[in-house]
């Protein structure tokens, strides 16, 4: 039921994740944080078992920071993604595997904006955009329609994410009212305004 969306553009990456925490058929909270800062230019969106996603994200973030302290320089997004995949693969072969699916978005000084998807079986793939979960069934077609060559401004990219969330809230019976959004560029990580059902309703009323 959880949903996360990642899109790479010419000079930045946008990551969005729903903020709904559920247990069985019950909504536990609507302000759950699923975007985790791993470094100054890298963010992980993680969904899965509640304890697993938080613990694994913290484990990866702390080890990336430890690497920087020991060596005097940090891991690039490419190296961090491969380290994450290897860590997940090692736990997969233990008695305590993590049930976590991730999108990792970052900015590399050489490669530019990058986006990776890592699933709970430790498969890693570099992609221009992706939407995970039931929300991906309806939002991927929206991205296909408007993405083009990805040559958009941050404002246009944010509006594209809004279109995806509008479609998710319109088409799915599952209630995902709030989405957290972050932008990663050469200047670092910027927290963008949350996309919520309430703000979308207000904008629709003004437009009407």
Beta-bridged to residue 14, according to DSSP, are 7, 183
Would you give the DSSP letter of residue 158? Answer: H
For 123-147, the pLDDT digits (tens) are 999 999 999 999 999 999 999 999 9
Q: Distance (Å, rounded) from C-alpha 192 to C-alpha 117?
A: 22
Q: Distance (Å, rounded) from C-alpha 65 to C-alpha 23?
A: 32
Q: Look at residue 207 in the predicted model and tell me its pLDDT.
A: 72
Average pLDDT, the chain: 93
Are the CB atoms for 1 and 132 separated by under 8 Å? Answer: no
Q: Distance (Å, rounded) from C-alpha 11 to C-alpha 119?
A: 26
């Amino acid at each position: 039921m959880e949903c996360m969306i990642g899109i790479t553009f010419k000079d930045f990456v946008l990551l969005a994740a729903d903020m709904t925490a559920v247990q069985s058929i019950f909504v536990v909270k609507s302000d759950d944080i699923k975007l985790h800062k791993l470094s100054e230019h890298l963010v992980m969106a993680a969904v899965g078992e509640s304890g697993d996603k938080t613990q694994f994200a913290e484990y990866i973030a702390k080890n990336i920071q430890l690497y920087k302290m020991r060596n005097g320089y940090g891991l690039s997004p490419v190296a961090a993604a491969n380290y994450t995949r290897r860590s997940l693969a090692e736990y997969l072969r233990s008695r305590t595997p993590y049930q976590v699916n991730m999108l990792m978005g970052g900015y590399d000084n050489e490669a530019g904006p990058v986006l990776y998807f890592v699933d709970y079986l430790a498969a890693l793939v570099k992609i221009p955009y992706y939407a995970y979960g039931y929300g991906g069934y309806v939002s991927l077609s929206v991205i296909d329609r408007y993405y083009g060559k990805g040559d958009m401004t941050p404002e246009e990219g944010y509006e594209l994410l809004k279109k995806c969330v509008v479609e998710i809230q319109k088409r799915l019976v599952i209630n995902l009212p709030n989405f957290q959004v972050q932008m990663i560029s050469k200047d670092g990580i910027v927290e963008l305004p949350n996309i919520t059902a309430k703000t979308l309703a207000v904008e629709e009323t003004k437009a009407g």
